[in-house]
A and B are shown apart, each in its own frame.
Chain A
Amino acid sequence: MLTTLLSGDLPRSRVLAVVLLAILAGLVLAPFVFPGTRSLNVAAKVAVFVLLVASYDLLLGYTGIVSFAHTMFFGIGGYGVGIAMAKLGAGWVSLALGIALALSLSAALALAIGLLSLRVRAIFFAMITLAVASFFQILASQLSGFTGGEDGITYKLPDLLLPGTKLVEMPLLGVELNGRLASYYLVVLAALACFLALLRVVNSPFGRVLLSIRENEFRSEALGYRTVTYRTAANCIGALGATLAGVLYAIWLRYTGPDTTLSFNIMIDILLMVVIGGMGTMYGAAVGATIFVVAQNYLQDLMALASAAAKGVPLLPGLLHPDRWLLWLGVLFIVCVYYFPTGIVGKLRAK
């Protein structure tokens, strides 16, 4: 049962299995164990980014495609929901329509980018994706009538997913069972389902061909595989995964703007999460995204505590000042890349 669910790709490391279970338990139990708006926000973001990073790992880790357009597909999902909700009204039908349009647009774009440019060398493909993604970012900021420009769009969702909606009158374990909780579980379960689907893709014969392309494209061709077709298919699946992540994030935030979806900073974050977690492992996406998002949100708090504790010691309080959190995040990355070149999951599995 578990083997089927994980497509036969078990963690193969006891520590990794424990870490993954902890992440899953944390996400499922977050509303009860860590109540509060902020912690729930972090948990939802972790779930969304696990899917987003996993879909990127399909490209970078499994197929060896370097793409900078992943946030564009993330944004298409976000804006698909946002624009549909804002313009068509907050119903289920318009939500479904927005998602369907976003997925179609992403698939068409990924197909076009793939067919036109996956024949060229990796560096040129990366540059083309960069250009298309920048173009999209500009488009989103200029079409302000549609997208809300730099301010983005805020919208309502179907009632079931709104915080004001009470599902059950009685609170459970002191937590109110409202629409906010419903949308949280929608996000977590959908992200989990998509993650498992991606795991299935990479462990299928199709995934094996992708791995062989990453290893050596010409050898793969000599075995009879049209590599352009396979890479384009991988590009499309990755794009659809990112779009769905964007959809979930938009549902959670009830807001879509350039900073939460299209920003190049997010692209860099995704890259770091894949590398830290471990490329070509899928589970690395889960580990990398969790560590990164949690660090992004709580490192400052931790440093404030450490800084206060180090009061009186020369230099230390200044170094540990919460404003210097990026410095320590940077140090963390360097240490990670230096000591875990195959990522955390690669390191754990190598033992």
Chain B
Amino acid sequence: MAEALLALAGVNTHIGQYHILQGVDFEVPRAGLTMLLGRNGAGKTTTLRTVMGLWQASAGAIRYDGAEITRRTTPERARLGIAYVPENMGIFAGLTVRENLLLAARSGPPEDRRLEWIFRLFPAMQKFWHAHAGNLSGGQKQMLAIARAIVEPRRLLLVDEPTKGLAPSIIANMIEAFRELKRTETSLLVVEQNFHFARSVGDTVAVMDCGRIVHAGRMADLAADDSLQQKLLGLSLQAHQ
């Protein structure tokens, strides 16, 4: 089997005096969507931020596309093809939708076909093209954040809780959008609390607890195993639905 696109080996991350990641090992394959699940405070967001270089790993190695990137700066990692959609969406509220998207297109204005594809995924982007991003609704901001990450083809997309605070109908849209994204060449690593969403789009899954990976496998297997869910996540599918 080919080497994984992203591989973390024994990654430790300290934030100030707190030891958050305590030896994280897992891989993101070269295709499909990997879900990163776990309770609040398990270290999911820290893992994404460490991959992006927004926190520096204090030990361990991060390999991406065959090269070690543990000591690379954030802009360098972004230029290697990693895009990050943070939990608070990370859009520039004072800039327009258009400016937000153009900023992410580092190699010149995006192609029309790409934009049309994005508009098909998220029609609101076309409608509010010249609106200030800060005036968008929560769901639209999330769509903008994702649209911005894919305005140019990227190899790896890190998304932190894309369904947080969204209405069920919007979540359905998001599921469609992520399914469409999976058809592209982009691999995704998505942190999520919403198990229904995770089950709908995830191919593989890693579950974190207390700064470590405690389970890794196929999403379908976890989704089918109530007792494993109960053990890992403290929830059952019935209770969640």
Judge whether B78 and A221 touch: CB under 8 Å. Answer: yes
Interface-lining segment among B102-110, B209-217, B225-233: B102-110
Total A-B residue pairs with C-beta atoms closer than 8 Å?
A: 53
Of residues 86 through 111 on chain B, the ones whose CB sits less than 8 Å from some CB of chain A are: 86, 90-95, 99, 102-104, 106
Neighbouring B residues of A214 by C-beta, 8 Å: 94
Chain A binding surface SS class: helix
CA distance A208 to B91 in the complex (A): 13
Q: Is B26 an interface residue (CB 8 A)?
A: no
Judge whether B92 and A221 touch: CB under 8 Å. Answer: no
Q: Is A287 an interface residue (CB 8 A)?
A: no
Q: Is B75 an interface residue (CB 8 A)?
A: yes
Q: How large is the interface on A (under 10, 10 to 19, 20 to 34, 35 or more residues)?
A: 10 to 19
Chain B's nearest CB lies how many Å from the CB of A130?
27
With most chain B CB atoms within 10 A of its CB, the pick from A212, A216, A218, A219 is: A219
Judge whether A219 and B93 touch: CB under 8 Å. Answer: no
Of residues 38 through 58 on chain B, the ones whose CB sits less than 8 Å from some CB of chain A are: 52, 54
Neighbouring A residues of B78 by C-beta, 8 Å: 221-224
Q: Is B84 an interface residue (CB 8 A)?
A: yes
Judge whether B92 and A219 touch: CB under 8 Å. Answer: yes
Q: Is A215 an interface residue (CB 8 A)?
A: yes
Neighbouring A residues of B90 by C-beta, 8 Å: 216, 219, 222
Judge whether B92 and A222 touch: CB under 8 Å. Answer: no
Neighbouring A residues of B102 by C-beta, 8 Å: 205, 208
Neighbouring A residues of B148 by C-beta, 8 Å: 223
Q: Is B74 an interface residue (CB 8 A)?
A: yes
With most chain A CB atoms within 10 A of its CB, the pick from B52, B103, B148 is: B103
Q: Is A119 an interface residue (CB 8 A)?
A: no
Judge whether B103 and A212 touch: CB under 8 Å. Answer: yes
Judge whether A208 and B74 touch: CB under 8 Å. Answer: no
Q: Is B183 an interface residue (CB 8 A)?
A: no
Residues 233-275 of chain A: 1 if any B CB is under 8 Å from the residue's CB, otherwise 0? 0000000000000000000000000000000000000000000
CA distance A251 to B104 in the complex (A): 44
Judge whether A221 and B93 touch: CB under 8 Å. Answer: no
Q: Is A209 an interface residue (CB 8 A)?
A: yes
Q: Is B113 an interface residue (CB 8 A)?
A: no
Neighbouring A residues of B79 by C-beta, 8 Å: 224
Judge whether A212 and B95 touch: CB under 8 Å. Answer: yes
CA distance A215 to B79 in the complex (A): 21
Judge whether A215 and B95 touch: CB under 8 Å. Answer: yes
Chain B's nearest CB lies how many Å from the CB of A259?
38
Of residues 132 through 188 on chain A, the ones whose CB sits less than 8 Å from some CB of chain B are: none
Chain A's nearest CB lies how many Å from the CB of B109?
9
CA distance A225 to B104 in the complex (A): 9
Chain B's nearest CB lies how many Å from the CB of A186?
36
CA distance A209 to B99 in the complex (A): 9
Q: Is A311 an interface residue (CB 8 A)?
A: no
CA distance A215 to B99 in the complex (A): 12
On B, residues with C-beta under 8 Å from A are: 52, 54, 73-75, 78-79, 84, 86, 90-95, 99, 102-104, 106, 148
- Known contacts A216-B92, A223-B103; 12 further A-B pairs (Cβ under 8 A): A208-B99, A208-B102, A211-B94, A212-B92, A212-B95, A215-B92, A219-B90, A219-B91, A221-B74, A222-B74, A222-B78, A224-B79
